[in-house]
Amino acid sequence: MTDPTDARPAAPRPTDPLDARQAASRTTDPTDVHQAAAPTRDPLDVHQALAGVRYPESVSLHPDGDRVACVIDGVAHVVTLDGVLEAVGDCQGPVRWLPDGRLLRTPSPSELAVEGWRARVDGEIEDLIPGEDGTVLVRLADPGSDRDGSHLGLRVPDESDPFVLTPGGRLRRLAWFELGDDRPHEIVLPGLTVWDADWRDRRALAVTSEDETPAGYYRPRLDLVEDGEVRTLHRTSWQLSRPRLAPGGRTAVVVEGLSIVSGRVLRADLVTGEVAYLGELDDVTDLGWLDDQTLWFTGWSGTGVHGGVLDAADGRVLSRWTARGTLGGRDGQPSLSADRAGTVAAACWESPELPPEVAVAVLGEGEWRPVTALNAGLAGLAVHQEETTWTGRDGLPISGLLLTTPEHGDTTPEHGAGPRPLVVMVHGGPTWLWSSSFAPAESNQLAVPLAHAGAAVLLPNPRGSSGRGQDYARAVIGQAGEADLDDVLAGVDHLVATGVADPDRVAIMGLSYGGYLTAWAVTRTDRFRAAVVMSGVSDWLSFSTASNLAGGFDPLYHAGADPATAEGRERLAARSPVHHAAKAAKAATPTLILHGERDRTTPPGQAEQLYRAWSAAGVSTQLVLYPREGHELVEPAHRRDAAQRVIGWLTGGGVL
């Protein structure tokens, strides 16, 4: 019998953006991480080359499992399993296969279309969920509504002048279409905004909140909408994602976890109303029904991913695989698409040796094989990645990724690599992680360029991170900036003690919560020669009223510290870098601050407060504000400028 994943990739693009001759002379066996290590290159050239990575988004497998749809650079494509790639048309949102095999796409942010039919909605389409009955559910966001932090901390574009906000006035909503009919049917959810949804037999299962801002995402509920009636199935102080209605209509599942949700599976009996965890499986980020008895799942596993098949009755794991790499998906979480028979899966797959590509696998085995070669010319930029483990102050094992470019992947002095500059890059969240990927994207995709500059780059996953279960993820609650920072500093000590890092040339940087830990570290230790704070929090007090997610984030991660009370304000200030500027002055760590002018997740006032506090205390600092940018930089000129400034700052600080 033919293995459907035994497909040959399309012919690679012939030119390495930096040096085609050098790439052609290299061994390309992706299983040999030592041979995959690239020689040192100019980090700015590497950063510029990585800016050309093409990411296949919204990967959707045809019901028959013989082709895959995806969106590449704003165009819908279909690729066969033997690597034939064909452009279909403009696509500014998701793309989905209908049960009858036709392709549904979004030609513009407010349009959906399939073979001669096109309809428009009043808002921006965030998701399309086809039904089995010739209908499609549309999840859309009103113009002017807040995006969450995973969507750059910006608003959905709205050109109204003046721009007016009223509570409950800018929502995420649901509507559905009969295919062929251009009139949408609104699903009325009074006073609720919708974060995620599923659709089956003209019933909607939705993750909702009363608060229309991203803060509401931290206080969600699970609602079933049927015949115009809304029934709440579950409320939680954790977060929910990926609601899924079962065939037959009796049960539903949803993932319950922390923040950008990685967690356990909840099963809801729609007849009795009983809701309970389904088995012990953890760190699930996506799942779907194969039939009314079984589910497929995927998610994080350490710094890699896992997936397989789950019994929907008792939660038994029927098959499970793990893989060293990353499955790209919505909100950056592992996601995949399965065929109708439940045998083949498709996803955007990348590994330390392989840039992102559309790939397929046997659903129960997880051996991912690329069927595109969108980024073949970048393979020569791969660096050596290894998982490294150390012990936290209390004895808890902590791990992370170490990126280097030694001649043969060696990181020990006896092999000639010697102690080298160390750059510690702290991830955001805090419930997020660094995963095994070709070029980790957070913090302006600088991890690989800095490794090419000759540094050892540590990507730590301290307590609070995903990939190690809910107990590990929740260990940061009420302890922000305490044990998690200790875990990061212990990782530095470990690399110094093992001869990997030069203790006199160590820098720290991070984005979002990672930016907070960076600024906080400057008030706690003088071991860093330079620091870079990107879109960071500097004052939890002002964050509690200015951020679009603070009303949810603060009660969760600060364990209920209430800024309306003197005790709450004291607790928030105690962990805010701006209130410890004198300690930063004593450490005297030069600090570069980068921030987007339109960031609503960590508003630019956070950067301005830090700059004023540090400069008033005599700390060497510089603030760079990027116009039009949100929580992360996206404009190519700004990304280049930020890379130049970071590398210049680390060089000037004596780290590189």
Domains plus CATH for the chain? Answer: 94-196 (no CATH), 379-539+576-652 (3.40.50.1820)
Instruction: Please tell me the distance from the alpha carbon of residue 147 to that of residue 141, in angstroms, as a whole number.
Output: 9
Instruction: Please tell me the distance from the alpha carbon of residue 159 to that of residue 215, in angstroms, as a whole number.
Output: 24
* Inter-residue contact 254 to 466 (CB < 8 Å): no
Cα pseudo-dihedral 119, 122, 124, 125, rounded to 10 = -40
Closest C-alpha to 308, from 283, 331, 277: 283
**Which residues are within 8 A (CB) of 591 and not within 5 positions of it... i.e. 6 or more apart?**
519, 522, 530, 531, 532, 533, 584, 610, 614, 619, 620, 621
CA 256 to chain centre: 17
**Which residues are within 8 A (CB) of 349 and not within 5 positions of it... i.e. 6 or more apart?**
325, 326, 327, 328, 356, 357, 358, 359, 368, 370
As a residue count, the chain comes to 656
What is the per-residue pLDDT for 148? 67
Instruction: Please tell me the distance from the alpha carbon of residue 110 to that of residue 114, in angstroms, as a whole number.
Output: 14
Instruction: Please tell me the distance from the alpha carbon of residue 255 to that of residue 260, in angstroms, as a whole number.
Output: 11
Instruction: Please tell me the distance from the alpha carbon of residue 528 to that of residue 133, in angstroms, as a whole number.
Output: 60
Q: Which long-range contacts (CB under 8 A, 24 or more apart) does 108-117 make?
A: 110/140, 112/136, 112/138, 112/177, 114/179, 117/179, 117/180, 117/182
Residues of the chain with pLDDT under 70: 1-40, 148-150, 406-417
Q: Give 332-397 as a 3 state SS string.
A: HCCCCEECCCCCEEEEEEECCCCCCEEEEEECCCCCCEECCCCCHHHHHHCCEEEEEEEECCCCCE
Which amino acid would we find at residue 439? Answer: A
What is the per-residue pLDDT for 147? 79
What is the per-residue pLDDT for 39? 46
List the beta strands (DSSP E) in 543-601. 591-596
* Inter-residue contact 478 to 558 (CB < 8 Å): yes
What is the per-residue pLDDT for 548? 92
Residue 55, SS3 per DSSP: coil
Instruction: Please tell me the distance from the alpha carbon of residue 138 to that of residue 128, in angstroms, as a whole number.
Output: 5
Residue 434, SS3 per DSSP: coil
Ramachandran quadrant class, 342 (left: phi over 0; alpha: psi -120 to 50; beta: rest): left
Q: Give 144-169 as a 3 state SS string.
A: CCECCHHHCCCECCCCCCCCCCCCCC
